[in-house]
Amino acid sequence: MNTAISISGLKALLPFLIMTAAAMVVMLGIAFRRDHRFTVLLTLAGLALGGGSLVFTPFAPDRYVTTLVLVDAFAGYYLALLFAAAFAVVCLSYSYLEIQGGHREEYYLLVLLAVLGAAVLAAATHFASFFLGIEILSVSLYGLTAYQRHRDQSVEAGVKYLILAAVSSAFILFGMALVYAEVGSMEFARIAIRAGAAGGALLGTGLVLIIVGLGFKLAVVPFHLWTPDVYEGAPAPVTAFIATVSKGAVFALVLRFFGNMDIRVGGALFLIFTIIAVASMFFGNLLALMQQNVKRVLAYSSISHIGYLLVTLLAAGPLRLNASAFYLAAYFVTTLGVFGVVTVLSTRDRDADKLDDYRGLAWRRPWLAGVFTAMLLSLAGIPLTAGFIAKFYLVAAGIGSALWLLVIVLIVNSAIGLFYYLRIIGAVYSMDGPPGPSMPISLSGSAALGGLTLALLWLGIYPGPFLALIGSLMQTAH
């Protein structure tokens, strides 16, 4: 076991160090000067620095820094994705919090810490870094979810998220202990070897417990019960953060942890993931049909999207990592865009989560309605948007591995999903909305939404270069 950190190891840790430093600088900054704009600028600078440092980070397939983290191109890709998503969330949060009163600055501290946790997850190769990453992420999210102290929903969502996330962490931890007992190591690579060679009861139980815990974090059926409540209660930009950064980082970890294992067709793991994927797709979409609250609809829709994404985990071959990388990028852009619109429409008193808030939006704010429509169509997987290419890639990966059941379920669910996306779009373009525009959208909010829309169209219309990039990154990763 190599425990010493060399200079090149430190260089590889640069993004993590920068995030840590950024969190501390922001904390000190708040202590010296409590100013919303100043804090946001510090935060954005930290995220930009962290993202910029990725250019200088020496990624290599075997760049282990101790046994805890592996800084390879896979980690690099997800770090970039997480930083970019956090950047967008901060931009949106600024316009959201600007109209709220009270102490707004600590919010950004929590965001930075959560990003740090997520980043650790994306590079983790050891139970210790896995657990620490997931806890840093979760604990920061408790605070973020309950951040609006004056709103009952926000606090209630915070408590619910707190209890379920803590329980799921306990499951993961207990599972880790059992796996450790049998394998005698906490390194992913060794566990994977052992799991491939048909492990015993302790290892099996441990893995199942870990899957349960990760299932909570990913919000897949049957561990999804917290999702709609938390999505509804949390402030809109925090919901966007949970839906993207948190889930994306956990999924990167799932890919790393289970990706090394031999998930054979017919094996127990294959069966478990298949059931989870199918159940998530169906429950997510069918329950979304019955919701009246836009944030709840999006919560159930995100459940089904993670269900779709699990298809890549089960697919074999080189397409797997590429498909999930592209899907997550598209899902990030789309989800951030949708919640971005919810964010900029929210008022001081409440979030814009009723269908009525969107009625006739197209005639009051045509640009915003256009962005919202594009994002919803992308979630539904309609051509010209990133969501279409992403879903196409998933289906291609699924068919390439002959996962016919999953692919057909995915396609049937895409059709079901159309109903509720179209219902929202129908409301946006209905003629009987309330008249007159409300307050203008802030610059940072519109900049974030504009960037996201461009990204959406770019990924949807001309994905060639991005696919090539993913291809070259993932090739070196595995």
With respect to another protein, which residue has the nearer C-beta, 85 or 162?
162
The answer to whether 390 touches 327, Cβ cutoff 8 Å, is yes
By C-beta, is 75 or 165 nearer to another protein? 165
Alpha carbon of 246 to those of 324, 330, 356, 435: distances in Å? 16, 15, 29, 37
Nearer to another protein, 45 or 408 (CB): 408
Furthest CA-CA distance within the chain: 68
Smallest gap from residue 49 Cβ to another protein (A): 26
Task: Work out the angle at residue 303's Cα, subtended by the Cα atoms of residues 348 and 47, and round it to the nearest 5 degrees.
Answer: 55
Question: Between residues 48 and 384, which has the closer beta carbon with respect to another protein?
Answer: 384
Q: Which is nearer to another protein, 33 or 367 (CB)?
A: 367
Beta-bridged to residue 171, according to DSSP, are none
For another protein, the closer CB: 93 or 414: 414
Cβ(123)–Cβ(59) below 8 Å: no
Task: Please say which residue, 153 or 442, places its beta carbon nearer to another protein.
Answer: 153
Select from 230, 58, 49, 54 the least CA-distant residue to 144: 230
Q: Tokens for 425?
A: 């779009």
CA 310 to chain centre: 14
Angle between helices 106-123 and 247-259 (to 10 degrees): 10
CB proximity list for 5: less than 8 A, separation 6 or greater: 13, 65, 66
We find the least distance from the C-beta atom of residue 399 to another protein, in angstroms, to be 5
173 or 272, CB closer to another protein?
173
* Closer CB to another protein, 40 or 179, in the complex: 179
Q: Taking the complex as a whole, how short is the minimal distance between the CB of residue 358 and another protein, in angstroms?
A: 14
Do residues 109 and 23 lie in contact, with contact meaning Cβ atoms separated by under 8 Å?
yes
- Which residue, among 320, 322, 309, has the nearest Cα to 273 in the 3D structure? 309
Are the beta carbons of 324 and 77 closer than 8 angstroms? Answer: no
Could you tell me the smallest distance in angstroms from the CB atom of residue 279 to another protein? Answer: 18
CB of 426 to another protein, least distance (A): 6
Give the CA radius of gyration of the chain: 21
Task: Please identify, using beta-carbon distances, which residue of 14 and 23 lies nearer to another protein.
Answer: 23
CB of residue 472 to another protein, shortest distance in Å: 11
Q: How far is the CB of 42 from another protein (least distance, A)?
A: 23
Closest CB 215 distance from another protein, rounded Å: 15
The residue with tokens 């810490």 is 113
The answer to whether 351 and 231 are in contact (CB under 8 A) is no
**CB-based contact 211:52 (threshold 8 Å):** no
By CB atoms closer than 10 A (0-12, 13-18, 19+), residue 107 is buried
> In whole angstroms, how close is the CB of 340 to another protein at the nearest point?
21
d(CA 108, CA 2): 35
Q: Under the phi-then-psi rule, with left for phi > 0, alpha for psi from -120 to 50, and beta for the rest, what region is 172?
A: alpha
Residue 402 beta carbon to another protein: minimum distance, rounded to whole angstroms: 9
